[in-house]
Amino acid sequence: MNELPSIVFHEPRIPQNTGNAIRLAAVTGAALHLVEPLGFDLSEPKLKRAGLDYHDLAHLTVQPDLETLLASAPDARVFAFTTKATTRYSDVEYRPSDLLVFGPEPTGLSDEVLAHPRITDQVKIPMLPSRRSLNLTSSASIVIYEAWRQLGFPGGE
């Protein structure tokens, strides 16, 4: 069983963000799921450069669609991160089996994904008013570190 929730990038568009997410997954031990279609090829130099030499240390899975991912985790709670939410990321009591779903740059998760019946809750990271959003991997970092903290930093030094 995973010791941390899984990070999910739904249809990511920017290879550098995904490279940074690979590095984030490697240093925390969180699994990273990329839901297709991807806006880049996984062999792109920008992705590899951003991930440095962490690709072999990260647990990365590419899923053909959201339904396939959800079917692989039938008991998981699914948190959709969006600026439209009212629940704060720090108010969630995270479990290792959770899926933390982040949308593509620059649009975020579609209304269709946000309305999916498997979504447990929509969650936000507070920001100052009139700001569009945080960087995708910055958002995932904030949330996975909060989850890791809550769970006692298993495996961390």
- Give the single-character DSSP code of 56: G
| Residue 103 near residue 123, CB atoms below 8 Å | no
DSSP-assigned beta bridge partners for residue 8? 33, 101
Neighbours of 70 (CB within 10 A): 20
What are the CA-CA distances from residue 51 to residues 5, 24, 32, 63 (Å)? 20, 9, 13, 19
Q: Is 134 left (phi over 0), alpha (psi -120 to 50) or beta?
A: beta
125 in a labelled binding site: yes
Query: 124 is written with which tokens?
Result: 């936000």
22 in a labelled binding site: no
103 in a labelled binding site: yes
Query: Element (H or E) spanning 45, and its range?
Result: helix 45-51
DSSP-assigned beta bridge partners for residue 33? 8, 61
Binding positions for S-adenosyl-L-methionine: 103, 125, 133
Binding residues: 103, 125, 133
